Amino acid sequence: MRKVTVIIPNYNGIRFLEDCFAALEGQTFRDFDVIVVDNGSSDGSVEWLRGYAKAGAVADGGMTVADSGKTAADGSETATAGEKTGTDGNGIGDGSETVADGGKASLASRTTLLALQENTGFSAAVNLGIRSTDAPYVVLLNNDTKADPHYLAELVKAMDGEVALHIRPTDKVAQHVAGRAGAADPAAERTGAAGNKGEGPGAADPAAERTGAAGNKGEGPAAAGNMGVDSAAGRRGGRIFSVSPMMLSMARPDVIDDAGDMYSIFGWAFQRGVGQPQSRFEKPCGVFSACAGAAIYRRAVFEEIGYFDEMHFAYLEDIDIGWRARRAGYENRYCPTARVCHVGSGTSGSKYNAFKVRLASRNLVYLNWKNMPLLQLAVNAPFLLVGLAVKALFYGRIGFFGAFLAGLGEGLLTLGKCKKAPLTPASALRAISIEFMLIWGGALYVYEFVRRRVKI
């Protein structure tokens, strides 16, 4: 069994695959394998992957192919790597290689392809990959990325609790509340072994919108630069659900693409630090959630809190899973020493389009309804309405007001299909700490917006 499985969802991304795999071949950490979940590509991606296998001198004939029609939302009929054979029997890896080689075998021999017959969306694709491995850690990696050679090694160190966490004074309040929740929840003592948001009020600053496929935040107003180091208990890795790396712009590698995801009381999800110099984000810290475009996750936790919500299809699914993890008492962190360059919107093809705006708006309805207890939802309703009004103005200005309204309407009409996160005494207390994070997220958004505009 490998320690890490890297899961790459792919949809017509042949132009990115060579660079993505070349970067993975150069990783200093070698105890990993790769699962590529192809979402019904028609651009030759599957053929490229078969050619990659042959170039690696791996026997052709072991590819696992999952029938997209059998990929159930609850996972009851989802293929496990090696269980279901495909429509043509061609393939990349047969999964028979052992770990005894210390990870020195070619990456091609450690790669499995799960080829779906149609585009099932980001959430369903990565869920299939997660369920197809027994590795303690899974990394979700967009195809339009190039990982630094130390990327996986640094993510694993962070998950193992070897990276000291820098915390803000506001985090101490949240930790105190979370600690009380843990006292009310015996499960909180367990140590655990085992995309693109399309959000953010572009009306205020289009650069703040999420651009990936598919918060802390250490850079806020007075809190910036006044960090403490977390206690030894906070350094232990068992309570860490996810770690987000420093994602840099492929076009400008000295500029942040994503330094951990944030969510705000206004219902705006955004990339922390987007468009700012990477030198400002060199400290590890807590974030609201990790960006699923390049993050590492503790696989066992999915069995506890559920997998990525396939109702989302794409967009905001990583904010949702990070929120559910926080409600269960887990942490999401940012590790600046793990670095990856990211093209952004590699699959969707553009920063804004009607499809992306509609899905993001619909998923925003799901996100808040599922994760906020009713009292919290009522308290935050005025702020959420303000946030929606700002978005409506922005999308109207760029020609997507109709798609925005269609998404909201679809979300409201299908809300009954959403599974609301369970409310326990412990999760109710944690909702208080999460509320502090939402307030902080709103302040941070405004701060970063001003900082970008005045270039300070």
Whether the pLDDT of residue 20 is over 70: the answer is yes
pLDDT range class, residue 54, cuts 50, 70, 90 = confident
pLDDT range class, residue 355, cuts 50, 70, 90 = very high
Least confident window among 56-60, 89-93, 253-257, 404-408: 89-93
pLDDT range class, residue 184, cuts 50, 70, 90 = very low
Domain boundaries along the sequence of the chain: 4-135, 157-290+307-454
pLDDT digits (tens, 9 = 90+) for 316-342: 999 999 999 999 999 999 999 999 999
The more confidently predicted of residues 169 and 334 is: 334
Q: What is the 3-state secondary structure (H, E, C) of the chain?
A: CCCEEEEEEECCCHHHHHHHHHHHHCCCCCCEEEEEEEECCCCCHHHHHHHHHHHCCCCCCCCECCCHHHCCCCCCCCCCCCCCECCCCCCCCCCCCCHHHCCCCCHHHHEEEEEECCCCCHHHHHHHHHHCCCCCEEEECCCCEEECCCHHHHHHHHHCCCCCCEECHHHHHHHHHHHHHHHHCHHHHCCCCCCCCCCCCCCCCHHHCCCCCCCCCCCCCCCCCCCEECCHHHHCHHHEEEEEEEEEECCCCCEEEECCEEECCCCCEEECCCCCEHHHHCCCEECCECCCCCCEEEHHHHHHHCCCCCCCCCCCHHHHHHHHHHHCCCEEEEEEEEEEEECCCCCCCCCCCHHHHHHHHHHHHHHHHHHCCHHHHHHHHHHHHHHHHHHHHHHHHCCCHHHHHHHHHHHHHCHHHCCCCCCCHHHHHHHHHHHHHHHHHHHHHHHHHHHHHHCC
Structure confidence at residue 197 (pLDDT): 52
pLDDT range class, residue 217, cuts 50, 70, 90 = very low
